[in-house]
């Protein structure tokens, strides 16, 4: 559904404004006049797509992917403010816009009301498939929904939301367990590295062991949602919206501290509670991967 009265694409004639919005986004993006597509709406919120003329052929499939992704966010809530999907012409432009370096696997980056997306046609020789693009946008838009439900545009980056919750919620919503290491592989890793804390991964570990870090985050969030329910997760976001930072918001909504939860989950993995019959005493329900389950850190 269009929300601009059918006036067609809106062109930003002020190049300076375009460059301000995308930051130092790379030579090709800066050299071309940015254009703003029509805006669309769904029950989960409004969005628009910004792109350079050279990437116009990518826009129809980006819109289709966004239209497919947005309704799946309703389990958490709706966007409070429109999100702009900024299509970046190449990987260098994406890293520049996200202020990241050396993350060759990075394809998108999210903030409160914008998603930087590498043009799907530049993902590789085979380009991005519709399923891959929908999955990625679902992951990224989950971040934006999370931030908007938890805060406003001035406070979202100061809520102290840990990486495992941010990336776990996005991966869980996008059903990306198939992409990461399994719980058994994580258990073996912890046996080899008994002092490692994957729920507090260092930047170096994130860069070099992203599969492991994302896997731990996904399974931790799945554990949280299965044990306490989606409503408890929404409660954490509501508590933050009222001005509370993540640690006390989590404890009020979940009933235990973040430290107690992460300790329980780590024990669950180490003791292989996911195999069944060896669950933690606090819960006798089966836990583990998201049923039917088949990236990137955010600003601190």
State the DSSP H helix or E strand holding residue 37, giving kind and residue range, or none if neither. Answer: strand 35-42
Residue 253 makes CB contacts below 8 A (sequence gap 6+) with 232, 233, 235, 236, 238, 239
Q: What is the pLDDT of residues 235-270, one digit of tens each?
A: 999 999 999 999 999 999 999 999 999 999 999 999
What is the three-class DSSP state of 261?
helix
Strands of 108-110's sheet in order across: 10-11, 35-42, 45-51, 83-88, 114-118, 108-110
Is residue 23 scored above 80 in pLDDT?
no
The backbone torsions φ and ψ at residue 33, rounded to the nearest 5 degrees and listed phi first, read -70, 125
pLDDT digits (tens, 9 = 90+) for 58-76: 999 999 999 999 999 999 9
pLDDT of residue 145: 97
Indicate the average pLDDT of the chain: 82
Global confidence as pTM: 0.80
The span from the CA of 222 to the CA of 292, in Å, is 12
Task: Report domain 10-150's class.
Answer: alpha beta
- Average pLDDT (34-50) is 82
The predicted-structure confidence for 122-156, as pLDDT tens digits, reads as follows 998 778 899 999 999 999 999 999 999 999 999 99
φ, ψ of residue 88 in degrees (nearest 5): -95, 140
In 3D space, the residue among 104, 201, 192, 197 whose CA is nearest the CA of residue 162 turns out to be 201
Confidence of residue 98 (pLDDT cuts 50, 70, 90): very high
Residue 288 has pLDDT above 50, yes or no: no
β-strand partners of 109 = 116
Residues in the chain: 300
Cα gap 262→199, rounded to integer Å: 7
pLDDT over 70 percentage in the chain: 80
How does pLDDT run across 205-232, given as a tens digit for each residue? 887 888 999 999 999 999 999 999 999 9
Banded model confidence at residue 8, pLDDT cuts 50, 70, 90: very low
Do 23 and 96 touch, CB atoms closer than 8 A? Answer: yes
Domain boundaries, the chain: 10-150, 160-275
Contact 46, 37 (CB under 8 A): no
Higher pLDDT among residues 102 and 175, named by residue: 175
Helical ranges in the chain per DSSP H: 15-22, 27-31, 59-69, 91-98, 130-150, 163-173, 183-192, 203-208, 210-228, 230-241, 246-254, 258-270
CB 50 within 8 A of CB 36: yes
């Amino acid at each position: 559904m269009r929300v601009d009265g059918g006036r067609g694409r809106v062109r930003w004639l002020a190049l300076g404004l375009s460059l301000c919005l995308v930051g130092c986004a790379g030579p090709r993006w800066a050299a071309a006049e940015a254009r703003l597509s029509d805006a669309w709406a769904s029950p989960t919120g409004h969005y628009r797509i910004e792109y350079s003329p050279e990437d116009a052929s990518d826009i129809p499939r980006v819109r289709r992917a966004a239209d497919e992704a947005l309704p799946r966010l309703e389990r958490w809530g709706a966007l409070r403010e429109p999100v702009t999907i900024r299509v970046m012409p190449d990987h260098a432009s994406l890293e520049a816009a996200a202020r990241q370096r050396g993350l060759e696997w990075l394809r998108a980056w999210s903030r409160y009301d914008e998603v930087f997306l590498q043009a799907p046609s530049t993902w590789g020789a085979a380009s991005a498939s519709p399923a891959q693009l929908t999955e990625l946008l679902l992951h990224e838009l989950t971040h934006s929904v999370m931030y908007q439900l938890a805060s406003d545009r001035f406070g979202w980056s100061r809520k102290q939301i840990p990486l495992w919750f941010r990336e776990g919620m996005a991966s869980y919503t996008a059903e990306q367990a198939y992409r990461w290491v399994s719980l058994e592989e994580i258990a073996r890793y912890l046996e080899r590295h008994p002092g490692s804390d994957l729920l507090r991964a260092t930047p170096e570990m994130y860069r070099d062991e992203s599969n492991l870090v994302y896997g731990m985050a996904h399974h931790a969030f799945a554990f949280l949602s299965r044990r306490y329910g989606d409503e408890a997760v929404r409660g954490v976001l509501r508590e933050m919206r009222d001005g509370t930072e993540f640690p006390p918001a989590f404890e009020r909504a979940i009933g235990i501290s973040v430290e107690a939860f992460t300790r329980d989950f780590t024990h669950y993995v180490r003791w292989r509670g996911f195999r069944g019959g060896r669950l933690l005493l606090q819960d006798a329900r089966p836990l583990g991967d998201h049923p039917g389950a088949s990236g990137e850190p955010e600003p601190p």
